[in-house]
Amino acid sequence: MKKFPIYTYITLAILVASCTEKIELDLDTSSVKLVVEGNLTDQPGAHLIRIGQTAPYYAEGRLPAVTGARVTLTDGDTIITLSEQQPGDYFTPDLFAGIPGHTYTLQIELDEAIDGRKRYTAVAPMPLKTVTDSTAVKYEPDMFRGGWQIRWFAQDPPGYNAYLFRAWQNGVLVTDSLTRWTAFDDEFFNGNYTMGIGVLFFFKQRDQVINPGDTITLEVCDVTDDYQWFIQNLKNEVQPRNPLFAPPPANVPGNISDGAIGYFAAYPVQMVTTIYR
Starting at the edge strand found earlier in the chain, the sheet holding 70-74 runs 79-81, 70-74, 103-114, 117-125
Query: What pLDDT is recorded for position 251?
Result: 80
Give the total number of structural domains in the chain.
2
Q: What is the pTM of this model?
A: 0.84
Whether residue 145 sits in one domain with residue 102: no
Q: Could you tell me if residue 38 is inside a domain? A: yes
Residue numbers of the chain with a pLDDT score lower than 70:
1-30, 57-59, 240-250
Whether residue 153 sits in one domain with residue 110: no
Whether residue 67 sits in one domain with residue 112: yes
Among 192, 189, 181, smallest CA distance to 220 is for: 181
Phi, psi of 206 (to 5 degrees): -105, 15
How would DSSP label each residue in 68-100? S-EEEEE-SS-EEE-EEEETTEEEPPTTB---T
Instruction: Give the 3-state secondary structure of residue 49.
Output: strand
Query: What pLDDT is recorded for position 125?
Result: 98
Q: Could you tell me if residue 171 is inside a domain? A: yes
Instruction: Report the amino acid identity of residue 201.
Output: F
Q: Last residue of a domain, which of 61, 96, 125?
A: 125
Whether residue 110 sits in one domain with residue 136: no
Whether residue 145 sits in one domain with residue 52: no
Query: What pLDDT is recorded for position 90?
Result: 98
Q: Could you tell me if residue 139 is inside a domain? A: yes
Residue 61: CB atoms within 10 Å? 6
Distances (CA, A) of 152 to 158, 270, 274: 18, 12, 11
Query: What pLDDT is recorded for position 28?
Result: 54
Exposed, middle or buried by CB within 10 Å (0-12, 13-18, 19+), for 10?
A: exposed
Whether residue 138 sits in one domain with residue 117: no
Whether residue 167 sits in one domain with residue 70: no
Q: Could you tell me if residue 51 is inside a domain? A: yes
Q: Last residue of a domain, which of 125, 160, 193?
A: 125
Q: Could you tell me if residue 69 is inside a domain? A: yes
Q: Could you tell me if residue 178 is inside a domain? A: yes
| Radius of gyration of the chain measured on its C-alpha atoms | 24
Whether residue 116 sits in one domain with residue 156: no
pLDDT tens per residue across span 167-190: 999 999 999 889 899 999 999 999
Query: What pLDDT is recorded for position 10?
Result: 42
Q: Last residue of a domain, which of 125, 155, 183?
A: 125
pLDDT tens per residue across span 60-95: 777 899 999 999 999 999 999 999 999 999 999 999
Whether residue 159 sits in one domain with residue 92: no
Query: What pLDDT is recorded for position 63?
Result: 85
Whether residue 182 sits in one domain with residue 136: yes
| Cα 67-60-167 angle, rounded to 5 deg | 80
Instruction: Report the amino acid identity of residue 246.
Output: A
- Domain with 187, as residue range(s), is 132-240+268-275
